[in-house]
């Protein structure tokens, strides 16, 4: 009995398997993780194969021109020629090492190893196709700039077709305070700092922002400097294109004026955008009236027909109505040529001369 009892105590107790499904769940989890690992390995292998095929393709594209002794029309020879021209220019001008490094980095960032003249390529295309290509190239800019996203599609199309792509390196002064503004900029990628005269950074702008429009709206000098903090991919709009587009879309002009006033307040400048509107409009209309009256008097002196005088009064009315329809800001002085001594004609709304001063001279000669 003692031996039997000792044997029973030494044997482990057999517990019944109360939940046989636990083993089944464990097996399924193990299979699931093994399958997931297999899927990730397949994806990794696929990516590696794609990279390997791309590498082989690049090697073949270089090997074929090399076997042909790099003909002049091969992409390798063209690229090397462009690089050689830049290097020869830097050597000829004896540029310092730091400047040469900046030039090299600029070309690498600007063209990313591909040298081409985009203006020549786009110039060979039809107007409609060129517009489509430019709209496609600027799609990321339009998507990132809220000003474009909320604007009329026709306005956006008119603007992007006139934009010019520019690249700035870190530390470059894009806009210098006190200079006359000739263009504004839209930021596609990068960060710029708005720097005051004392060197203090007033604010920073990044992707989707625009700047430089204040002096174009107010005909004033730059109120602050703009410095590139990082590599900046920008699109610039010249002042001529700026005025041409906004004259067709006065609502967009008023929107930019309100943003300009807010920015002037933010950097501590006085946004005196509206104070001289009535005064400038009145003085401009007086100048127009003086010119028209002088021409009318000269027309009467040479016995011009009543039809010519009527045209003068119609032109006066159109000019005055156009002055009243001006936007909130006074137009740049460069556009107001009525006060210049050489200004001896009055133009209609379509810029076609109605009456020239030289007509009176010919009339006098014919009467004599």
pLDDT tens-place string over residues 158-184 = 888 889 889 999 999 999 999 988 999
71 close to 65: Cβ distance less than 8 angstroms: yes
Distance CA 292, CA 307 (A): 14
**291-320 average pLDDT score:** 50
Distance CA 69, CA 47 (A): 34
Please report the pLDDT score of residue 11 as a whole number.
52
Please write the tens of the pLDDT for every residue from 51-95. Answer: 888 888 878 776 766 676 666 666 566 677 777 888 888 988 899
Please report the pLDDT score of residue 10 as a whole number.
54
Checking if the pLDDT of 275 tops 70, the result is no
- DSSP states of 37-95: HHHHHHHHHHHHHHHHHHHHHHHHHHHHHHHTT--TTSHHHHHHHHHHHHHHHHHHTT-
What residue spans define the domains of the chain? 75-111, 127-266, 277-367
Distance CA 257, CA 214 (A): 8
Please report the pLDDT score of residue 284 as a whole number.
42
CA distances in angstroms from 293 to 271, 316, 345, listed in the order given: 36, 9, 12
- Reduce the DSSP state of residue 257 to 3 states and report it: helix
Please report the pLDDT score of residue 87 as a whole number.
87
Please report the pLDDT score of residue 122 as a whole number.
82
pTM of the model: 0.51
Please report the pLDDT score of residue 72 as a whole number.
62
Please report which confidence band the pLDDT of residue 352 belongs to, taking 50, 70 and 90 as the band edges: very low
Please write the tens of the pLDDT for every residue from 202-226. Answer: 999 999 898 988 888 877 788 899 9
Token pair belonging to 237: 């709009």
- State the chain's mean pLDDT as an integer: 71
Please report the pLDDT score of residue 169 as a whole number.
93
Q: Ramachandran region of residue 144, left (φ > 0), alpha (ψ -120 to 50) or beta? A: alpha
CATH number corresponding to 127-266: 2.60.120.10
Please report the pLDDT score of residue 4 as a whole number.
53
């Amino acid at each position: 009995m003692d031996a039997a009892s000792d044997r029973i105590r030494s044997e482990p107790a057999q517990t019944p398997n109360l939940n046989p499904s636990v083993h089944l769940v464990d097996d399924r989890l193990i299979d699931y993780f093994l399958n997931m690992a297999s899927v990730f390995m397949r994806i990794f292998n696929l990516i590696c194969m794609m990279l390997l095929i791309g590498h082989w393709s690049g090697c073949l594209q270089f090997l074929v021109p090399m076997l042909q002794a790099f003909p002049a029309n091969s992409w390798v020879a063209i690229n090397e020629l462009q690089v050689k021209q830049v290097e020869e220019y830097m050597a000829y001008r004896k540029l310092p090492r730091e400047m040469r490094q900046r030039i090299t980095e600029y070309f690498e960032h600007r063209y990313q190893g591909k040298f081409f003249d985009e203006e020549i390529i786009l110039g060979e295309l039809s107007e409609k196709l060129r517009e489509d290509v430019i709209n496609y190239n600027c799609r990321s800019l339009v998507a990132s700039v809220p000003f474009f996203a909320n604007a009329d599609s026709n306005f956006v199309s008119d603007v992007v077709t006139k934009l010019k792509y520019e690249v700035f390196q870190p530390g470059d002064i894009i806009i210098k305070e006190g200079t006359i503004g000739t263009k504004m900029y839209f930021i596609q990628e990068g960060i710029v700092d708005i720097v005051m005269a004392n060197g203090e950074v007033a604010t920073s702008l990044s992707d989707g922002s625009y700047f430089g429009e204040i002096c174009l709206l107010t005909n004033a000098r730059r109120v602050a400097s703009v410095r590139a903090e990082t590599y900046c991919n920008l699109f610039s709009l010249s002042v001529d294109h700026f005025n041409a587009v906004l004259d067709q879309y006065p609502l967009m002009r008023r929107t930019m004026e309100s943003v300009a006033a807010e920015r002037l307040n933010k950097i501590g400048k006085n946004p005196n955008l509206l104070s001289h509107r009535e005064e400038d409009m009145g003085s401009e209309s007086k100048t127009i009236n003086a010119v028209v009256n002088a021409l009318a008097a000269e027309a009467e002196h040479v016995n011009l027909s009543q039809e010519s005088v009527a045209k003068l009064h119609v032109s006066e009315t159109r000019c005055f109505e156009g002055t009243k329809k001006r936007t909130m800001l006074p137009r740049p002085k460069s556009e107001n040529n009525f006060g210049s001594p050489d200004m001896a004609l009055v133009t209609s709304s379509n810029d076609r001369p109605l009456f020239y001063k030289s007509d009176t001279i010919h009339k006098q000669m014919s009467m004599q």
